[in-house]
Structure 1
Amino acid sequence: MRVMHVLKTVSKAAPTSLHRSASKTSTRGRKSPVQRATAGAITITHADRVVYPGESITKGDVAAYYQRVMTSLLPNVVKRPLSVIRCPEGARNTCFFQKHPMGGLHHVGTIELKEEKGSLATYMYAKNASSILELVQFGAMEFHVWSTRIDRLETTDRVVFDLDPSPRVTWERIVAAARLLKVQLDELELTSFVRTSGGKGLHVVLPVNPACSWDLVKDFSHAIATRMATGQPQEFVDTASKTKRAGKIYVDYLRNTRGATSIANYSLRTRKNAPVATPLRWEELSKIEGGDAFTIRSLPRRLSRLRKDPWENIDSVKQTLSAAMKKLEVGA
């Protein structure tokens, strides 16, 4: 069983493939496994280590995947405080959710942030492709980011709704929930985007004016979640209580607080088949079979066929929540 817990420690254009070192020939004439590979400026050691045992996917494969999708990945993570899930011995073994930098990093940015209790702590952020690949070298497999940038930490530019289903909920119900949420946001004259979580659910993401405060974003997302739970109590809950979530979809709005993170677009997940959190066009939902529909193997093929990024306009959408909040208060 894979164990996950929190570990707190303080201390160019991407190429399309890894350059692997030549295999050494043993005295018996057999080649030994590849131990090193280079990814841009980063050396990937133990490149042959299998990190997804059921799929025979190696650490080198993970680095090669991130190189291949780097152009699409970076706009969603660069200069945003980030946390990683590290699995030094692979996804089926002990993994760590880590938000503070480990020793030995040379390409990853750091920033001092005030935490909830007022103390200062050092956080990480990606500066460029080398930042991502260096973290992969240190065993990072998943990338989770704040909904803000390092130059405006006290305001946010995204609202994230995580539609998190309980085990008995069908994919069709999850898709219907996302569409209902989109309709509600459309009625408030707000543009939204959708992605697979790489797990069981979907994320609906709302870009907002960067001047939005954390309190406003949390109040707004809570109001929407409550509206859905009140309107269709047989379908939705707005509380994380597992006893109340049975057979329902949890509309998780708590990712919209200072310090909370959500999975980055194109990040791998430490789950069976190495699924990927994948941004979609809304009209694609009817063609998708699950939140883990795209994987380390299929996602690069998808990118090669796309004419444009499904979220290409997200940073140009500047919308405020003040008018929407007034409408919600009137309708309450």
Structure 2
Amino acid sequence: MASEAVILSVPGPHGVRQMRVSSPTRVLWPDSGITKLDLARYMVEVGAAFVGANGDRPISLQRFAEGIDGEQFFSKNPPKGAPDFVRAVPVVYPSGRSHPQLVIDEPAAAVWAVQMNTIVFHPWPSRAENTDNPDQLRIDLDPQPGTDFDDAIPAAIELRAVLAEVGLDAFVKTSGNRGLHVFAPIEPTREFLDVRHAVIAAARELERRMPREVTTAWWKEERGARIFIDFNQANRDRTMAGAYSPRAIAHAPVSCPIEWSELETVDPRLLTVLTVPARLASTGDPWQRMGEKPGTIDQLCGWWERDLANGLGELPFPPDFPKMPGEPPRVQPSRAKHPEQPSS
């Protein structure tokens, strides 16, 4: 028999809301024994920082009906029965289709998402009132086989320097897995393709400075034991786990904002659903002031044009995107057909 529901009091900008959590003893992370109620309480404890980082943005919910080892699916539009304070905004997907997408505006909405079996939250880099123009430049530093979190650290530090050179103030968080996410607030004046090109320009500059350590190679067979700079996370409808979002990994890690001064000593395995609330209460939110000084991507776009003139063109898009202008063939190099070589 399922356990009785629990009612949580969730403070927010419109007062305290009473939020129902059914099946509170359902275990979501078997290795850690963390339950649905534990996750709901986590969202209450980190609620203000979570909404500060992920609120007022289209968001996708990664839902697990039976915990992290069960089936999962993504919700983008509000399901039936959503509270009246949970809103949606229309967004345009790469196909050109438009559809309403969820927006979280207060901690109670995040607790409601947990009630709907959400574990991972994936916010867009644009605001609800201007979904076509990102206000964040995001770069995912993804360790490849043979590398780990420690290898991503010097790449993140050098990337920060690259962004500073073009007037951007970088912020960093753990991915919740093995990598790092570097964000920079930008003025929402350019659309997604421009931001993608800005990310590629920054990635190529980082690759020039650290050719043995990082790569922009889209095909895994070409990456080697290097940190992949995942430029395709900058595309429309491409998201990564939000700040303070849990991850569906055995020890219940969190994608956690950190100070740059912590980067070389932090252990991301210790940043979990069980530990992050106390950390946040004692140290504060490293991303609290992120949006105060947005920069522009004008100089990065200039770098893109410079590289384009020097023969460095477009890079592959995700496979579900329509074929894009200037894009190279979507076939891995080892399977590409090459002209027959003349016999000697």
Please give the TM-score of this superposition, normalised by the length of structure 2.
Answer: 0.82
Q: Is the 8 A contact 1:157 1:209 kept in 2?
A: yes
Q: Which residue of 2 aligns with 1:177?
A: 155
Equivalences for residues 295-306 of structure 1 within 5 A: 295-306=272-283
SS in 2 for 1:152: coil
* Offset of residue 113 of structure 1: 2.4
5+ residue gaps, structure 1: 1-31
The one of 145, 156, 176 equivalent to 1:198 is: 176
Asked if 1:68 corresponds to 2:45, the answer is yes
- Cα distance in 1 between the residues matched to 2:91 and 2:160: 34
Tell me, yes or no, if the aligned pair for 2:148 and 2:178 is still in contact at 8 Å. no
Over the matched positions of the two proteins, sequence identity in percent amounts to 27
Q: Distance in 2 between matches of 1:207 and 1:152?
A: 15
The 1:33–1:214 alpha-carbon spacing in structure 2 relative to 1, beyond 3 Å, is: closer
Q: Distance in 2 between matches of 1:54 and 1:116?
A: 38
Paired residues for 1:81-96 under 5 Å: 81-96=58-73
Letter in 1 for 2:62: I
**What residue identity is the alignment partner of 2:192?**
W
Of stretches 66-75 and 249-258 in structure 1, the one that deviates more from structure 2 is: 249-258
User: Aligned-pair RMSD on alpha carbons?
Assistant: 1.9
Question: Where in structure 2 are the equivalents of 1:42-191 lying within 5 Å?
Answer: 42-106=19-83, 107-191=85-169
CA distance in 2, matches of 1:171, 1:265: 18
Specify the SS of the correspondent of 1:85: strand
Change (3 A) 1:316 1:180: same
Helix, strand or coil at the partner of 2:201: helix
Q: Partner of 2:177: helix, strand, or coil?
A: coil
Residues 258 and 170 (structure 1 numbering): CA distance in 2 closer, same or farther, change over 3 Å? closer
TM-score by length of 1: 0.84
Alignment of 1:240-251 (within 5 A): 240-251=218-229
Equivalent residue, structure 2, for 1:319: 295
Which one of 204, 208, 211 corresponds to residue 233 of structure 1? 211
1:161 partner SS: strand
**Whole-angstrom CA distance in 1 between matches of 2:299 and 2:2:** 60
**What whole-Å deviation, never above 9, does each CA across 1:166-188 have from its counterpart, x for those lacking one?**
13203321111111111211222
Partner deviation per Cα, 1:85-108 (whole Å, 9 max, x = no partner): 101100111122332332221242
Kindly indicate whether the alpha-carbon contact (under 8 Å) linking 1:188 and 1:327 is maintained by their aligned counterparts in 2: no
Q: Higher strand proportion, which one?
A: 1
For residues 323 and 250 of structure 1, the distance between their equivalents in structure 2, rounded to whole angstroms, comes to: 23
Alignment coverage as a number of residue pairs:
299
1:295 is paired with a residue whose SS is: coil
Asked whether 1:38 is paired with 2:7, we answer: yes
Deviation per residue, 1:132-189 (Å, 9 max, x gap): 1111101001111000111011211001100000132033211111111112112223
Distance 1:293 1:168 in 2: 22
